[in-house]
């Protein structure tokens, strides 16, 4: 079974489209779509291979050796990898097909497919990595693709800023990741998963002196330090607090990539990483607590902000931030299988929601503000109904995949000690908020009277089949993935710490009931506010003005960063530019030129044009030479 | 006999007079004259040494030098006439076209 083909086919598509895109133009999908579809089929075969117990580890290529350090590329395929492969290839294939309709006629058609293919390749290699460095290389690569794709419409300054913001915020996290990687090599002497995980239990007591270069003494557990540093990378990549700020702005990119990158795949790389390194994390309770609390904070923050936004893509983006928090919280509490399970189901229904938004946006000629929507459910039935299915899954409505996965997370969280009970309660409260904002979106966008711009109101219609079929498939997946027994499939892949939820206990049943209740109450409140009494939301906003504004302005995090980090950095850069670059460096370079020109000016006077002066020079020269000759 | 050194000193004085004339005088014809002076000074030198060493080669060389001097004067005068025709002056200070 040629596992290497899975990432290589999209890479080949990227190369072809990158080099020949200028001539391929509108037929780019003929290159990209088959490549990723074949990858998908191979992923299914891989899944079946792994399910029958075959784990594989294939070294591919030795990049460099230096003394004891061997840098290799290799593939490691186990259960976690297999499900991630499926997720990435399914969502990528569906997004590829959807893009045929969404980006039809655009100038950058081939370029878009090329970058999406590159992204798919990078994500697949990341997921199949068998050593830390390879993970990091493709971690950066997906960040690069995210930058390229967010800035796809590069004539728009807002898109360029958003792309730069995403990349820089990611880099902050990656700085921590790189430090963690170096510490791993220092501690374990190797960067390969197998060797590191094998040695980990023995090195659990190792300590690291943080103040050694300063001659001081502050010992911390090396493993905890490693886990925390690696987690910094996850905080950036998976948009956890405080590095979540790039994700809503990333909505500047085309909707298909919001679905692929910022819902189902790239942002999940951080959660995947924590799960992949579960053998390390489970040896460091401190790190796991940090992960769990960060996840919970993100979960709450995302949900509270999504309540008041008006741009439909931003609502879904903040929802993604919140759900990523759920997944991270689950992993932090030891429920890795539950976290990944939610990652998979979320990939399905969140991609569905984004693609549904895209469908609406296209139908209304690039309108994204839901205050100018309404009354669409009869005009766009397929979009409407699939959107409802996705929202139900997000809200955790019974029988949807989202219900099962969210339940799995909450039950496993509850049985993880006191912290688990606290965070699970927060999770239940957030479930209410989640259901509320999801159906706020549904009711305001699709129900009621049409507030659409009269210009376009006449020809609002369902988009083409290349866009509706992926919606239908994802809707089916949003339900079906709940019944595939994923948590059972995944738990052997993780060090079990007794956090497989005891599903038959009364507590588990109680949590399921409360979660369902929260979901239904959320939907009911949304119905009350946006269908029954439409004046009520504004009155509530007036009454709770402080809180409303806090939510609407995203808790002023961007403004805080601007004041504390961005502003001073720009001012410092400005000052350095003026006092160093212009004054010193330009001064030196220009100064050299000026000096030489001045020397030339001096020398010019020798050329007087007077023959007798030249004759004098010759005479003096001859006398000088003769003197020297006679004396020496 | 007259000591050799007298002749050499005479030759040197004439030569230096010629050099200084080339460097200082403003009249092109005088400069040409000074060049001739330099040539003749070297001729004196050649003859003096030829007499001192009783070797006729020195005198033979003087013939060559004199011939060359004559040819050179002819060419020099032709150049001076060309210059005069271009600028109607024989003041060397006024030929400054190669100035920066």
DSSP track, A332-369: HTT-HHHHHHHHHHHHHHHHHHHHHHHHHHHHTTS--B
Number of domain units in chain A: 3
Nearest chain B residue to A604 by CA: give it: B100
Within this chain, do residues A516 and A414 fall inside the same structural domain, yes or no? yes
User: Any idea which architecture B4-92 has in CATH?
Assistant: Orthogonal Bundle (1.10)
Query: Can you tell me the mean pLDDT for A363-370?
Result: 86
B35 and B76 Cβ atoms separated by less than 8 Å: yes
Residue A542 forms contact with B (CB below 8 Å): no
Within this chain, do residues A297 and A372 fall inside the same structural domain, yes or no? yes
Task: Spell out which residues of chain A touch residue B19, defining contact as CB-CB under 8 Å.
Answer: 619
pLDDT at A473 > cutoff 50? yes
**Structure-model confidence comparison of residues A46 and A210, the more confident one:** A46
* ipTM of predicted assembly, 2 dp: 0.88
| Tens-place pLDDT, residues A516-540 | 999 999 999 888 888 888 788 888 8
Instruction: Report the number of secondary-structure helices (H) and strands (E) in chain A.
Output: 28, 4
Long-range contacts of B38-46 (CB under 8 A, 24+ apart): B38/B14, B39/B65, B39/B68, B39/B69, B40/B14, B40/B69, B41/B11, B41/B12, B41/B14, B41/B15, B42/B11, B42/B15, B44/B7, B44/B10, B44/B11, B44/B14, B45/B7, B45/B8, B45/B11
| Distance (Å) from the alpha carbon of A616 to chain B's nearest alpha carbon | 6
Task: Spell out which residues of chain B touch residue A612, defining contact as CB-CB under 8 Å.
Answer: 22-24, 31, 92
Residue B19 forms contact with A (CB below 8 Å): yes
Residue A609 to residue B96, Cβ atoms within 8 A: yes
Task: Spell out which residues of chain A touch residue B92, defining contact as CB-CB under 8 Å.
Answer: 610-612
DSSP state of A378: T
What's residue A466's pLDDT? 84
| Distance (Å) from the alpha carbon of B19 to chain A's nearest alpha carbon | 8
* Tokens standing for residue A361: 């946006």
Query: Can you tell me the mean pLDDT for A247-271?
Result: 89
| Tens-place pLDDT, residues A313-364 | 999 999 999 999 999 999 999 889 899 999 999 999 999 999 999 999 988 8
Within this chain, do residues A48 and A138 fall inside the same structural domain, yes or no? yes
Residue B23 to residue A610, Cβ atoms within 8 A: no
Residue A602 forms contact with B (CB below 8 Å): no
Band of the pLDDT at A618, cuts 50, 70, 90?
very high
Task: Spell out which residues of chain B touch residue A615, defining contact as CB-CB under 8 Å.
Answer: 22-23
**Structure-model confidence comparison of residues A501 and A172, the more confident one:** A172
Locate tokens 């997370």: which residue? A409
Where helices occur in A364-462 by DSSP H, the ranges are 381-395, 401-414, 417-446, 454-457
| Distance (Å) from the alpha carbon of A619 to chain B's nearest alpha carbon | 8
What's residue A25's pLDDT? 81
Task: Spell out which residues of chain A touch residue B96, defining contact as CB-CB under 8 Å.
Answer: 608-610
Within this chain, do residues A372 and A497 fall inside the same structural domain, yes or no? yes
Beta bridge partners of A70: A65
| Distance (Å) from the alpha carbon of B96 to chain A's nearest alpha carbon | 4
In a domain, residue A93? The reply is yes
CB pairs under 8 A between A and B: 30
Question: What is the residue range of A291's domain?
Answer: 284-544
| Tens-place pLDDT, residues A429-463 | 999 999 999 999 999 888 888 888 777 777 788 88
What's residue A373's pLDDT? 86
Q: Percent of chain A at pLDDT above 90?
A: 47
Domain range summary for chain B, segments of one domain joined by +: 4-92
Q: Which of A3-12, A173-182, B45-54 has the lowest mean pLDDT?
A: A3-12
Within this chain, do residues A426 and A353 fall inside the same structural domain, yes or no? yes
In a domain, residue A194? The reply is no
Q: Percent of chain A at pLDDT above 70?
A: 98
Where is the domain boundary, A544, A575, A596?
A544
Within this chain, do residues A525 and A572 fall inside the same structural domain, yes or no? no
What's residue A160's pLDDT? 93
- CA dist A21 to A29, A100, A249, B75, Å? 11, 15, 28, 76
In a mutational test of the A interface, the residue from B16, B18, B21, B23 whose CB has the highest number of chain A CBs within 10 Å is: B23
| Distance (Å) from the alpha carbon of B52 to chain A's nearest alpha carbon | 23
Nearest by CB to residue B98, choosing from A607, A612, A616, is: A607
Within this chain, do residues A118 and A27 fall inside the same structural domain, yes or no? yes
**Structure-model confidence comparison of residues A292 and A531, the more confident one:** A292
Residue A609 to residue B93, Cβ atoms within 8 A: no
| Distance (Å) from the alpha carbon of A608 to chain B's nearest alpha carbon | 5
Residue B83 forms contact with A (CB below 8 Å): no
Give residues with Cβ within 8 angstroms of A142, minimum separation 6: A119, A122, A123, A126, A261, A265, A266, A269
In a mutational test of the B interface, the residue from A605, A606, A607, A611 whose CB has the highest number of chain B CBs within 10 Å is: A611
φ/ψ of residue A66, rounded to 5: -150, 100
In a domain, residue A509? The reply is yes
Band of the pLDDT at A498, cuts 50, 70, 90?
very low
What's residue A502's pLDDT? 56
- CA dist A387 to A376, A402, A434, A442, Å? 12, 14, 15, 8
Within this chain, do residues A569 and A494 fall inside the same structural domain, yes or no? no
Residue A609 forms contact with B (CB below 8 Å): yes
Within this chain, do residues A464 and A569 fall inside the same structural domain, yes or no? no
What's residue A496's pLDDT? 62
| Distance (Å) from the alpha carbon of A598 to chain B's nearest alpha carbon | 15
Residue A610 to residue B97, Cβ atoms within 8 A: no
Task: Spell out which residues of chain A touch residue B23, defining contact as CB-CB under 8 Å.
Answer: 612, 615-616, 619
What's residue A430's pLDDT? 93
Band of the pLDDT at A182, cuts 50, 70, 90?
very high
Residue B99 to residue A612, Cβ atoms within 8 A: no
Where is the domain boundary, A544, A571, A599?
A544
Q: Is A414 helix (H, G, I), strand (E, B) or coil?
A: helix
What's residue B23's pLDDT? 94
Query: Can you tell me the mean pLDDT for B28-53?
Result: 96
Nearest chain A residue to B100 by CA: give it: A607
pLDDT at B100 > cutoff 80? no
* Bond from prior residue into A242 cis (ω within 30 degrees of 0): yes
A51 and A37 Cβ atoms separated by less than 8 Å: no
* Tokens standing for residue A224: 């905890």
CA–CA dist A199, A197 (Å, integer): 5
Q: Is A94 helix (H, G, I), strand (E, B) or coil?
A: helix
Within this chain, do residues A3 and A108 fall inside the same structural domain, yes or no? yes
Within this chain, do residues A256 and A295 fall inside the same structural domain, yes or no? no
Nearest chain A residue to B26 by CA: give it: A612
Query: Can you tell me the mean pLDDT for A190-205?
Result: 84
Query: Can you tell me the mean pLDDT for A462-474?
Result: 88
* Tokens standing for residue A448: 């009621």
Dmax (CA) for chain A in angstroms is 118
| Tens-place pLDDT, residues B41-86 | 999 999 999 999 999 999 999 999 999 999 999 999 999 999 999 9
Task: Spell out which residues of chain A touch residue B27, defining contact as CB-CB under 8 Å.
Answer: none
Within this chain, do residues A489 and A574 fall inside the same structural domain, yes or no? no
- The dihedral region occupied by A492, where left means phi > 0, alpha psi between -120 and 50, and beta the remainder, is alpha
pLDDT at A499 > cutoff 60? no
Task: Spell out which residues of chain B touch residue A607, defining contact as CB-CB under 8 Å.
Answer: 98-100
């Amino acid at each position: 079974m040629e596992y290497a083909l899975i990432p290589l086919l999209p890479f080949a598509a990227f190369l072809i489209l990158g080099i020949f895109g200028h001539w391929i133009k509108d037929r780019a999908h003929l290159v990209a779509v088959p490549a990723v579809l074949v990858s998908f089929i191979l992923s299914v075969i891989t899944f079946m291979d792994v399910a029958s117990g075959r784990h594989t580890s294939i070294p591919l290529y030795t990049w460099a050796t230096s003394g004891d350090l061997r840098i290799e590329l290799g593939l490691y395929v186990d259960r976690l990898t297999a499900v991630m492969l499926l997720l990435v290839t399914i969502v990528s294939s569906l997004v590829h097909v959807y893009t045929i309709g969404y980006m039809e006629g655009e100038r950058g058609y081939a370029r878009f497919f090329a970058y999406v293919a590159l992204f798919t390749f990078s994500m697949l290699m990341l997921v199949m990595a068998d050593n830390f460095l390879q993970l990091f290389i493709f971690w950066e690569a997906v960040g690069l693709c995210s930058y390229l794709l967010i800035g796809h419409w590069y004539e728009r300054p807002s898109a360029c800023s958003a792309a730069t913001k995403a990349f820089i915020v990611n880099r902050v996290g990656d700085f921590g990741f790189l430090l963690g990687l170096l510490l791993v090599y220092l501690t374990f002497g190797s960067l390969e998963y197998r060797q590191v995980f094998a040695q980990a239990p023995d090195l659990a007591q190792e300590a690291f002196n943080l103040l050694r270069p300063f001659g001081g003494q502050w010992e911390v557990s090396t493993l905890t330090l490693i886990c925390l540093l690696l987690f910094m990378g996850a905080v950036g990549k998976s948009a956890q607090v405080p590095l979540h700020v790039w994700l809503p702005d990333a909505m500047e990119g085309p909707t298909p990539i919001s679905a692929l990158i910022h819902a189902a795949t790239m942002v999940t790389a951080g959660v995947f990483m924590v799960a992949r390194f579960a053998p390390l994390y489970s040896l460091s309770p401190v790190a796991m607590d940090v992960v769990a609390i960060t996840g919970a904070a993100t979960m709450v923050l995302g949900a509270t902000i999504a309540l008041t936004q008006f741009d439909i893509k931003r609502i879904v983006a903040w929802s993604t931030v919140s759900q990523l928090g759920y997944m991270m919280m689950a992993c932090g509490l030891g429920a890795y299988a539950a976290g990944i399970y939610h990652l998979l189901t979320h990939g399905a229904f969140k991609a569905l929601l984004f693609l549904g938004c895209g469908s609406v946006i296209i139908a209304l000629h690039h309108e994204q503000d839901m205050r100018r929507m309404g009354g669409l459910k009869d005009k766009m039935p397929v979009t409407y109904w699939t959107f409802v299915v996705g929202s139900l899954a997000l809200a955790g409505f019974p029988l949807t995949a989202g219900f099962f996965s969210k339940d799995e997370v909450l039950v496993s969280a509850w049985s993880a000690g006191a912290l688990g009970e606290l965070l699970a309660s927060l999770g239940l409260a957030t479930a209410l908020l989640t259901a509320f904002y999801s159906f706020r979106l549904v009711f305001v966008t699709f129900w009621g009277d049409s507030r659409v711009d009269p210009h376009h109101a006449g020809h609002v219609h369902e988009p083409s089949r290349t866009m509706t079929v992926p919606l239908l498939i994802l809707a089916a997946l949003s339900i079906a993935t709940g019944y595939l027994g994923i948590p059972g499939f995944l738990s052997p892949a993780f060090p079990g710490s007794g956090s497989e939820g005891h599903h038959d206990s009364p507590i588990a049943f109680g949590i399921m009931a409360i979660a369902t209740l929260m979901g239904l109450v959320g939907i009911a409140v949304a119905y009350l506010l946006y269908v029954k009494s439409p004046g009520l939301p504004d009155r509530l906003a007036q009454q709770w003005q402080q809180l409303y504004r806090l939510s609407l302005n995203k808790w002023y995090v961007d403004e805080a960063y601007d004041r504390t980090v961005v502003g001073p950095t720009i001012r410092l850069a400005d000052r350095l530019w003026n006092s160093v670059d212009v004054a010193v460096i330009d001064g030196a370079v220009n100064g050299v030129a000026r000096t030489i020109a001045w020397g030339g000016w001096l020398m010019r006077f020798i050329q007087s044009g007077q023959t007798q002066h030249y004759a004098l020079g010759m005479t003096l020269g001859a006398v000088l030479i003769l003197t020297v000759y006679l004396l020496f | 006999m007259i000591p050799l050194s007298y002749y050499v000193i005479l030759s040197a004085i004439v030569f230096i007079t010629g050099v200084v004339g080339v460097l200082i005088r403003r009249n092109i014809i005088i400069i040409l004259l000074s060049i001739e002076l330099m040539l003749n000074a070297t001729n004196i030198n050649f003859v003096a040494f030829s007499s001192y060493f009783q070797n006729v080669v020195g005198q033979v060389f003087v013939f060559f030098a004199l011939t060359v001097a004559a040819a050179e004067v002819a060419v020099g005068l032709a150049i001076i006439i060309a210059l005069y025709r271009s600028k109607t002056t024989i003041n060397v200070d006024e030929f400054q076209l190669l100035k920066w």
